[in-house]
Structures are given as C-alpha cells and as structure tokens.
C-alpha cells in the first residue's frame, strides 16, 4: 500500500454524513482513496510512506465547480456594462476565432486558477467549437493539469437565420454534433468510481438550439451509463420572452417538453424559476448551479437559493464564464452565495413551514456551512457522483488545505471553517486530487504559472489583439 498521512490538522471539516468537524485531526490516504479520517490521537497504527504535517491549516473536501466556460478567459473585462444578450452578441464574433490551441491553453489557465483556489473537480461547458476545434483539446488540458474533469460537449445549432441568437458562423449541423458527442462518449467517458474523466451532453440554451437537438441529446445521453445533461435555463428575462414567443411556453415548460427534466439533468442559473417550477425540480431531482458573480455581473438577478434548498432542489456552485465573472474562485462564489441570500427579497425565500419567510433581508438566510456544502456535496450531487464531495473512508482523496498564516485569519479561531468564505477569498496551500499532491505551498507542482501566462499571451496576440 502507498499510504500518505495528513497529520495534526488544526481544523478538519469532513462534510461527511455526520458533518464531523475535528480539531487536531488526521487523514490516511491509500492510493487514490481515503483510508481513515478522525482525531490524530486515534489514528490507526499504519506505517505511512509520506507524512504531511498540517498544523496551522484548515482542511476540507476539494470543491466542485459545476459550471464554467474556460475559453472565456481570453475575453475578460469586455462588454463590462451590458445585459446578457448584448454581451453575447458582442463576444460571439471574437469567440468564432477560437481553435484547438486557444481552447487548450485557455483551459489550462482556467484549471490552474481553480486548483489554486480550492477546486479539485470541474465541469466545463464548451459550446463554441469553431475552425475544426474539438473537445479533445480541452480533455488533453485536464489530463496535463491533473484535475478531475467533467467535459461537456456543448453545442449551438440555431443561428440567426433560423431565429436563434448566435451568428450563423458560430453554429454547427445537428447531425455533426450528435455524431461527435457519441464519439467522445465512446472514447473518453468513464462512469466508474474515482473516474477522472466523464462526458456530459450540453446543448447551450433555448435560444441557440432546436427542440430536436435537445430531444436527441437526451436520448443519446441516456443510452450510456452515467452520461448527464447540462444547459443554461431561466437565466435571463429575455430568455423567458424568447421561449414564450418561439415555443409558446416558459423555459422550464420547454425543458420538460424535450425530456430535459430528471435527476440526470442540471441547469446553470435558474434565476427565474417560479414556485411551481421549483417544486417540479425538487420532485424530479433536477439540479441547479448557482453562479452569483456572473448573475451580478450581467445584472440578471438573485437566484432563489434559499427556497430551492428548502424545497429539496439539488443546488451546487459554479464560477461561470471567465468573461462574465471574471475570475475562477469557488471560495468567492460561496461567499457571494451566502451574502446574496441575506439581502434577497423575502419572496425569494420559502414561506412554507420550516422556511425563512418575512419582509426585507434575513441575516440568517444562508449559513457559511450551507454555502460550502453547495460547493462540495451539492456539486457532487449535480454531477451524479457519490465518490467526491466529502471526506470519509472509501471516498476519493480530493482534499484541500488552507494555511491560517494569513492576516485575514486573525481573530477567527472560534470558527476557522466559516472564515474560509467570510474572511476571504483565499487560495489553497495544498491540494490532493485523486490522492496526488497537485498544489504545495500555494504553487502548482507540475506547472509554472509564468509559463502558462506566456502561452496565454501568445494566443491573445495571435487571435485577438
């Protein structure tokens, strides 16, 4: 056995079924799985090949990013003050210049950002594949970086000439999309426990694809084990108006009409879900990724997270696109998720028994632990995984450690876990993914940030500047 010991952890938050939080804790890792978790004084008498002393650290499960557009770090700080549809129409012509090299390099930069800020599993939604580019280039980036990855074969098939929003040169033929999606599933998708790579089918949005593609993608995904479905939904009032005009129904009704409701489906945003739609999602296990930074950036609104959680809707967190965030830090998303619910109008919170109704803001609407749970267990549930998201025997060894030797931790000894989002955002000092140490002392082990930045600048010079 190749045993690693993480010992004398100042504060360990397991997010396990008992939600144990332990001071002076230890974790034993056997290969890519957790062998044991508990107090240091109680650890088994096992000889470790490697010991990591984590005094002065807060440790928790690696976080799960459930919605991103990694290529968008090539177009940060553009269209700074526009609503979504104007923002998209500004950027579509630039994204049309993407190629495999640009996707590969931008993905590595995004993954590095995520890994350094506590993410160990990421799902990306790549719906722009122009100029012969393929999802393979992003999958190669994930393998190089060592992050656990859910690669989404996104797509747009309905251009402006057919009543969609994107320009015609940004869309693909539906038969080509489905053929490539099946190729990717057969070549890369691994549904096994501890899998490092899975494929998701992800037509982009109700205003960029046809009902036929949505139905065909759902049928194809459900013909393979563990292939899930992802898209944008209820993100923007313009989207609701589009669905009413084109389909004669709200966006959720449209999703239901094309078989996109169920516990193998999760949607990004869900800002404009009404009470009945939230109840439908809860009943069917349909999930939602909350993206607070992007929702604020484009002035879209506040998702009804408290109401969703009270109803039983699966909710995770996502950083969303690096051109609508414009960063990639899940600690920051958890912080904003907590704070936004506290200022949300009362109608955004459940009035049902056990809910938190009332008028005005609610300083207890969402706790720090609930926000972090969305970033861990919640994200794992959206991705259909029971092997990540918490720390317990048999779980994947995806673990992050944050050093408390930081000015922002001063005075937080009462609750260092809450400090991770209430006093941050922080970066990780150490990160294990699938049992391998990928970040140490705040630095990527196998990659140098200056080199990544130079590669990224080269792409910028070649394509955009």
DSSP 38-84: EEGGG------SEEEE-TTEEEEEPEEE----GGGGGGTT-STT--H
DSSP string computed for 396-461: B--EEEEES-SGGGTT-TT-HHHHHHHS-----SEEEETTEEEEETTEESS--HHHHHHHHHHHHH
Beta bridge mates, 436? 433
Stretch 266-280: mean pLDDT:
96
Contacts of 313 (CB under 8 A, 6+ apart): 278, 281, 282, 286, 287, 288
Determine, yes or no, domain membership for 326.
yes
Quote the CA–CA distance of 233 and 230 in Å, as a whole number. 9
Quote the CA–CA distance of 167 and 59 in Å, as a whole number. 46
pLDDT of residue 355: 47
User: 158 and 262: one domain?
Assistant: yes
358 pLDDT tier (thresholds 50, 70, 90): very low
Q: What are phi and psi of 49, to 5 degrees?
A: -75, -25
User: 246 and 282: one domain?
Assistant: yes
The answer, yes or no, to whether residue 357 has pLDDT greater than 50, is no
The answer to whether 22 touches 12, Cβ cutoff 8 Å, is yes
User: 172 and 27: one domain?
Assistant: no
User: 234 and 128: one domain?
Assistant: yes
The answer to whether 159 touches 171, Cβ cutoff 8 Å, is yes
DSSP state for residue 322 in the 8-state scheme: T
CA dihedral 117, 197, 69, 169 (to 10 degrees): 160
Pairing outcome for strands 436-440 and 430-433: antiparallel
Beta bridge mates, 433? 436
349 pLDDT tier (thresholds 50, 70, 90): low
Pairing outcome for strands 228-233 and 265-269: parallel
- For residue 32, the enclosing domain spans 3-61+387-444
Quote the CA–CA distance of 268 and 266 in Å, as a whole number. 7
Structure confidence by residue, pLDDT tens digits, 294-339: 888 878 889 999 999 999 999 999 999 877 778 889 999 999 999 9
The answer, yes or no, to whether residue 354 has pLDDT greater than 50, is no
424 pLDDT tier (thresholds 50, 70, 90): confident
Question: What is the domain-level CATH number for residue 54?
Answer: 2.30.40.10
The answer to whether 387 touches 48, Cβ cutoff 8 Å, is no
Pairing outcome for strands 228-233 and 197-203: parallel
User: 77 and 216: one domain?
Assistant: yes
The answer to whether 311 touches 350, Cβ cutoff 8 Å, is yes
Determine, yes or no, domain membership for 246.
yes
User: 272 and 418: one domain?
Assistant: no
The answer, yes or no, to whether residue 404 has pLDDT greater than 80, is yes
User: 107 and 248: one domain?
Assistant: yes
What sign does the CA torsion over 68, 262, 223, 164 have? negative
Instruction: Tell me how many domains the chain contains.
Output: 2
Cα-based angle 422, 423, 427 (whole degrees, multiple of 5): 110
Q: Is the peptide bond before 425 cis (omega within 30 degrees of 0)?
A: yes
Determine, yes or no, domain membership for 464.
no
Stretch 158-163: mean pLDDT:
87
Beta bridge mates, 5? 28, 51
Structure confidence by residue, pLDDT tens digits, 47-92: 999 999 999 999 999 999 999 999 988 888 776 776 777 878 788 8
User: 38 and 103: one domain?
Assistant: no
CA nearest neighbour of 113 among 76, 82, 81: 76
Stretch 334-357: mean pLDDT:
70
- Judged by DSSP in three states, 25 sits in strand
User: 72 and 176: one domain?
Assistant: yes
Alpha helices, H only, 34-191 = 84-95, 100-116, 136-145, 174-188
User: 82 and 19: one domain?
Assistant: no
Quote the CA–CA distance of 423 and 400 in Å, as a whole number. 17
User: 375 and 395: one domain?
Assistant: no
């Amino acid at each position: 056995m190749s045993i690693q010991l993480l010992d004398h952890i100042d504060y360990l938050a397991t997010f396990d079924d008992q939600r144990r939080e332990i001071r002076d804790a230890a974790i034993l890792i056997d290969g890519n799985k957790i062998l044991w978790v508990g107090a240091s004084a109680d650890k088994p008498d096992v000889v470790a090949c490697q010991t990591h002393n984590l005094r002065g650290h807060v440790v928790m499960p690696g976080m799960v990013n459930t919605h991103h557009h990694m290529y968008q770090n090539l177009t940060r700080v553009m269209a700074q003050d526009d609503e979504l549809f104007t923002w998209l129409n500004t950027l579509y012509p630039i994204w049309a210049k993407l190629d495999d090299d640009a996707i590969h390099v931008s993905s590595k930069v995004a993954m590095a950002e995520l890994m350094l800020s506590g993410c160990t599993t990421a799902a990306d939604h790549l719906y722009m594949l122009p100029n012969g580019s393929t999802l393979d280039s992003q999958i190669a980036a994930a393998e190089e970086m060592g992050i656990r990855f859910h690669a989404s074969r996104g797509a747009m098939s309905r251009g402006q000439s057919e009543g969609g929003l994107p320009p015609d040169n940004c869309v693909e033929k539906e038969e080509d999309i489905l053929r490539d999606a099946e190729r990717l599933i057969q070549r890369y998708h691994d549904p096994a426990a501890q899998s490092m790579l899975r494929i998701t089918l992800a037509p982009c949005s109700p205003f960029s694809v046809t009902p036929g593609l949505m139905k065909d993608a759902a049928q194809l995904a459900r013909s393979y084990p563990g292939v899930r479905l992802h898209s944008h939904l209820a993100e923007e009032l313009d989207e609701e108006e589009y669905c009413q005009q084109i389909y004669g129904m709200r966006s959720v009704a449209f999703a239901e009409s094309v078989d996109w409701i169920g516990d193998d489906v999760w949607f990004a945003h869900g800002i404009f879900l009404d009470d009945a739609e939230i109840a439908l999602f809860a009943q069917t296990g349909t999930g939602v990724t909350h993206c607070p930074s992007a929702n604020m950036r484009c002035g879209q609104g506040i998702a009804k997270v408290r109401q969703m959680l009270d109803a039983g809707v699966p909710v995770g967190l996502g950083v969303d696109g690096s051109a609508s965030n414009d960063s990639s830090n899940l600690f920051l998303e958890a912080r904003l998720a907590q704070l936004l619910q506290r200022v949300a109008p009362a109608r955004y919170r459940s009035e049902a028994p056990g809910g938190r109704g009332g008028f005005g803001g609610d300083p207890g609407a969402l706790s720090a632990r609930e926000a972090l749970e969305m970033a861990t267990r919640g994200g794992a549930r959206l991705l259909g995984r029971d092997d990540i998201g918490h720390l317990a025997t048999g779980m994947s060894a995806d673990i992050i450690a944050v050093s408390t030797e930081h000015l922002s931790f001063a005075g937080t000894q009462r609750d260092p876990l809450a400090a991770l989002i209430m006093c941050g955002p922080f970066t990780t000092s150490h990160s294990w993914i699938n049992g391998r140490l990928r970040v140490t002392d705040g630095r990527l082990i196998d990659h140098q940030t200056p080199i990544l930045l130079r590669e990224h600048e080269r792409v910028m010079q070649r394509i955009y500047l």
